[in-house]
Amino acid sequence: MFFNSLLTNFAALEVGQHLYWQIGNIRLHGQVFLTSWILLGSLLVFISLGTKKMENDPKGLQNLLEFLWDYIRDLARTQIGEKVYRDWMPFIGTLFLFVFVSNWGGALIPWRLIKLPSGELGAPTADINTTIALALLVSLSYFYAGLSNKGWRYFEYYVHPTPIMLPFKILEDFTKPLSLSFRLFGNILADELVVGVLVFLVPLILPIPVMFLGLFTSAIQALIFATLAAYYIGEAVEEHH
Partner 1 sequence: MLAFNFFGATEGGLFDINATLPLMAIQVVALTYILNSLFFKPVGNVVEKREKFVSNNIIEAKNKLSEVKKLEADLLTQLQSARTEAQRIVSEAEDESDKLYKEALELANNEANASKEKTRLEIESQTSAARDQLSKQADDLSELIVNRLILEK
Alpha helices in the chain (DSSP H): 2-12, 30-51, 61-80, 85-108, 128-150, 166-201, 207-237
Q: Does 20 bind partner 1 (CB under 8 A)?
A: yes
The yes or no reply on residue 229 touching partner 1 (CB under 8 A) is no
134 binds partner 1 (CB under 8 A): yes
Q: Which one, 57 or 152, has the nearer CB to partner 1?
A: 57
Tell me if residue 26 falls in helix, strand or coil: strand
Of residues 70 and 173, the one with the C-beta less far from partner 1: 70
Site for partner 1 contains 225 (CB under 8 A): no
- In Å, what is the CA distance from 219 to each residue of 112, 143, 165, 188, 223? 22, 27, 34, 10, 6
Q: Give which of 180, 189, 139, 141 is closest to 32, Cα–Cα.
A: 189
Stretch binding partner 1 (CB under 8 A), from 19-27, 169-177, 208-216, 225-233: 19-27
Site of interaction with partner 1 (CB under 8 A): 11, 15-18, 20, 26-29, 32-33, 36, 40, 44, 47-48, 51, 54-56, 58, 62, 65-66, 69-70, 72-73, 89-91, 93-95, 97-98, 119, 124, 127-130, 132-134, 136-137, 189
